[in-house]
Amino acid sequence: LSGLKTKVLGQKVHVYGAVDSTQTIAHALVASGAPEGTIVLAEEQTAGRGRMGRAWHSPPGKGIWMSMVLTPRVPVYFMPQLTLLSAVALCRSIQKVCQVEIGIKWPNDLLIKGKKVSGILLESSGEDERLKYVIAGIGISVNLKTEDYPEELRNIATSLAIESGQEISREHLVQAFLQEFEDLYALYMDKGFAPIRLLWEALSVTLKRPIRTYSPSGPIEGIADSLDDSGALTVINANGEKIKIYSGDIELK
Binding region for ligand BTN (CB under 6 A):
21-23, 45, 48-51, 54, 56, 58, 65-67, 109, 119-121, 137-139
Torsion angles phi and psi, residue 19, rounded to 5: -135, 165
Measured from the CB of residue 237, what is the shortest distance to ligand BTN in angstroms? 26
| Residue with smaller CB distance to ligand BTN, 50 or 60 | 50
3-state secondary structure 229-252: CCCCEEEECCCCCEEEECCCCCEE
Nearer residue to ligand BTN within complex by CB, 79 or 222: 79
The nearest distance, CB 129 to ligand BTN, in angstroms, is: 25
Nearer Cβ to ligand BTN (65/193): 65
Residues in binding site for biotin: 45, 49-51, 116
CA separation for the pair 173, 122 (Å, rounded):
20
Angle, helices 194-203 vs 79-97, to 10°: value is 50
CB 128, min distance to ligand BTN, A = 27
CA-nearest of 121, 171, 119, 162 to 143 is 162
Nearer to ligand BTN, 23 or 81 (CB): 23
First to last CA, the chain: 40
Closest approach, Cβ 63 to ligand BTN, in A, equals: 8
Considering the complex, state which of residue 118 and residue 179 has its C-beta at the smaller distance from ligand BTN. Answer: 118
Residue 31 · residue 9 · CB < 8 Å: no
Judged by CB, which is closer to ligand BTN: 135, or 222? 135
Residue number closest to ligand BTN, CB atom: 119
CB of 210 to ligand BTN, least distance (A): 22
How is 105-171 classified by DSSP, letter by letter? ETTTEEEETTEEEEEEEEEEEEETTEEEEEEEEEEEE-S--GGGS-GGGTTTB--HHHHHSS---HH
Annotated binding site: 45, 49-51, 116
CB of 23 within 8 A of CB of 114? no
Minimum CB–partner distance for residue 39 and ligand BTN (Å): 11
Nearest to 186 by CA among 1, 8, 13: 8
